Structure 1
């Protein structure tokens, strides 16, 4: 069901963050993460959940300890943690939509001619013939180096984020080696055979199984695994996967509406974890790393918005607990951009009406992710409103002033200020005076004058600019 304004709670003070630890089920966090990662991989919703279900059925046939099964479970659900980090580079190199590219890439065959056909079909699709041929030739000439670059960026970033979220080194290693192949021809390190972590081997096969089943059916998935046994895949694991795939109810179970519930009801996800304020901060920062890695123009944006939000709140006299809560809203406000192609996020020209409609969906997508985690439900309401305006002409819901809480107004001011004072695809960062001149004209119609004046006062008293205020900061 599409979200409407009725799904946004009426304005109210945000909850004061308690000092005592709270408990949540790990399933809440994993469900939200897997949903977000599906967005940025261009896969049908539930891809990570389906991969986990497939991989854990194979695990039933292996003699794994309880700890090993838990680590495999987390690897399967979080295998795509670093996937946003190569999106912009894919668009730049292949001159194509990163979401479609990633979706199509997962169904190419192992043979060289399949890869060449993929490049020809998915490179420079909107360019004229001459430019397209030049781009294709460049990609083919650099294919090995490009593959290493793109996969290493993704795998390294994913492993780092897993560690930030306090998952084990075994889970991080499983994510880091996801794209290694049994014959040593994979990336990023060219690991061979049993030198590839078992969790990585299972996760890659589960991924291929899901993608081929969803596109071409279970028989096609089994045939694909068997054709790659001994080159891409561990030949001892292939029969175990094929036994699972050829079960009569495999496809129906994979597409069942109850699958997510069944996966997240498994014992690893049912563990109740204590989440103190430090852990909530770490989780928020980890999410923001996934978000801001999507585009060089948004690198550091979430952290800066969080910083400006805190400056406004401090100027208005909010207590430390509330400021900490609002910083999390700043860190998480743009998580829905994971579902927007970099051809739109990084476009140097004005967006078309169709592209702008897609861009306007990102607060809704973000709300859908954050509301899955009980400790972020209130954050979700504030984050979803960061493009709303006092005059009701904002998006995605067209909320008006009486529907916008002070927290929503503060976040909007912080977001607009960073958008003006940081580099964007279509212009360089504005000097402070010009940014303030534009925002002066927005007060009372788009932005709240109290929150805006607090920002100006805080900036005047600070060592502005905030750290990382350039798209040229490294993203790797």
Structure 2
């Protein structure tokens, strides 16, 4: 069995967890909204397929958040707080649209990135075409004022309206109480979504919210388990989505996973524990979504308030263990990614005896991979230099020395077992070079300088890459190319 193959619902739950963190929402927001969306579909007599689509769209509604985080950061500074504020706007139309009204074409450009990536995620998860189409049109409005395509009325899938209504009810009830939530939904009827769907939400809101309060873990009557039972998917997609938040981290989580797996093998861990280390490494960055890009991109020492947010990254990853089913053990291991054997790590400040061997492996692998990746404030270290630095840290007591020695015996990143592109000739070598640089966030001008070609030539290659990968944004191209093994 593929060591990265896991139940489909657990990957979708994990994506919803990351999305809720990125949107500044409680981490049970999307699962609660998904249950409400499913109830709405049943209340209006929808068939089982539509019920599943409404549930899936509500769970994956924010899955494209990491993709446009760099653009959101440019507009709002704090991309997490900016999104949280948008969702709280009490408007009769789209909060997203009204919150970006004075920022030119931001609504359409940000929507396009988000929707394209959300649809691609659904495709890679193996969800049906109707669900993919709905996720590609998340910000459409019933009156035609939405994005990305300005669809209106019945041209918009019912699942989009159901997910939007469920999300509005969950957020507005939490922020402003049930009466105001119902009032706002009534104001948005026939603007964002049809009145025929808004009415049953208002009529059943009290009953549905009470049911959720009686089943806070969504493990009883409000369980979502039946919607995707028996299906599996690859866990790598989650790692790639996590890494999209910061362009300079493209492919980082997969590199950490490969290093950790090979070190676990060197240390003699059995196959199930190697598998757990690999999976934990793939998801160890889940909590990163809660920290705004402006903090991650800050050169030099962080302010104490910013540092406190960074310290909570592994805490949030550990919290995910409570709601992602079969991956709970991996999430627990992943929460040790930044602990140090001398107690100087975070968030627990655990010492060697309190850190499981899987956690010590992951911590060292993450550190080595990070040293080999360029950051906005420093260049990447060469492999040998990175190994020397990490060994010095181990000698000083901050990492397990045996783990580091095993880690340094693993294949170099350029020789590690990378996924093989199904169609190796899909892109030319020059197109792959250009794609690699734009995936890391480089502008066309910078790519031209790096490759000693003209900006117009870069633009031609970018257009060709987008055409061949059937995408229109950098984020979507990065996600698809990473999944195909082209990066």
Task: Calculate the TM-score normalised by the size of structure 2.
Answer: 0.77
Q: In the alignment, which of 67, 86, 89 is matched to residue 49 of structure 2?
A: 67
Query: In structure 2, do the counterparts of structure 1 residues 458 and 442 end up closer, same or farther at CA, with 3 Å as the change threshold?
Result: same
C-alpha distance after superposition, 1:115-160 (max 9, x if no partner): 89846xxxxxxxxxxxxxxxxxxx83x522x222211111121222
Number of the residue aligned with 2:454: none
Number of the residue aligned with 1:99: 80
Q: In the alignment, which of 366, 369, 380 is matched to residue 415 of structure 1?
A: 366
Q: CA deviation at 1:112?
A: 9.1
C-alpha distance after superposition, 1:433-454 (max 9, x if no partner): 4323321320131122222223
Q: In the alignment, which of 236, 243, 255 is matched to residue 304 of structure 1?
A: 255
Number of the residue aligned with 2:475: 475
Residues 291, 334 of structure 1: 8 Å contact kept = yes
Supply the distance in 2 between the matched residues of 1:178 and 1:327 (Cα, whole angstroms): 33
Number of the residue aligned with 2:425: none
Q: CA deviation at 1:207?
A: 1.8
Unaligned runs of 5+ residues in structure 1 are 1-17, 120-138
- Note the 1:121-160 alignment, pairs <5 A: 140=102, 142-144=103-105, 146-160=106-120
Number of the residue aligned with 1:192: 152
Supply the distance in 2 between the matched residues of 1:98 and 1:295 (Cα, whole angstroms): 12
Aligned alpha-carbon RMSD (Å): 3.4
- Note the 1:163-202 alignment, pairs <5 A: 163-202=123-162
Number of the residue aligned with 1:365: 316
C-alpha distance after superposition, 1:14-51 (max 9, x if no partner): xxxx8899997x76665554433322211134221332
Moved more, 449-458 or 388-397: 449-458
Query: In structure 2, do the counterparts of structure 1 residues 305 and 264 end up closer, same or farther at CA, with 3 Å as the change threshold?
Result: farther
Q: In the alignment, which of 330, 349, 354 is matched to residue 379 of structure 1?
A: 330
Number of the residue aligned with 1:5: none
Q: In the alignment, which of 346, 353, 372 is matched to residue 402 of structure 1?
A: 353
Q: In the alignment, which of 390, 408, 431 is matched to residue 439 of structure 1?
A: 390
Task: Calculate the TM-score normalised by the size of structure 1.
Answer: 0.79
Query: In structure 2, do the counterparts of structure 1 residues 299 and 266 end up closer, same or farther at CA, with 3 Å as the change threshold?
Result: closer
How many residues get paired? Answer: 427
Supply the distance in 2 between the matched residues of 1:314 and 1:295 (Cα, whole angstroms): 30
Number of the residue aligned with 1:457: 409
Supply the distance in 1 between the matched residues of 2:277 and 2:49 (Cα, whole angstroms): 36
* Larger RCO (alpha carbons 8 Å, 6+ apart): 1
Supply the distance in 2 between the matched residues of 1:112 and 1:58 (Cα, whole angstroms): 21
Unaligned runs of 5+ residues in structure 2 are 420-435, 443-473, 477-487
Residues 182, 234 of structure 1: 8 Å contact kept = yes
1:390 counterpart = 2:372: no
Q: In the alignment, which of 207, 212, 216 is matched to residue 176 of structure 2?
A: 216
Residues 33, 369 of structure 1: 8 Å contact kept = no
Supply the distance in 1 between the matched residues of 2:358 and 2:177 (Cα, whole angstroms): 48
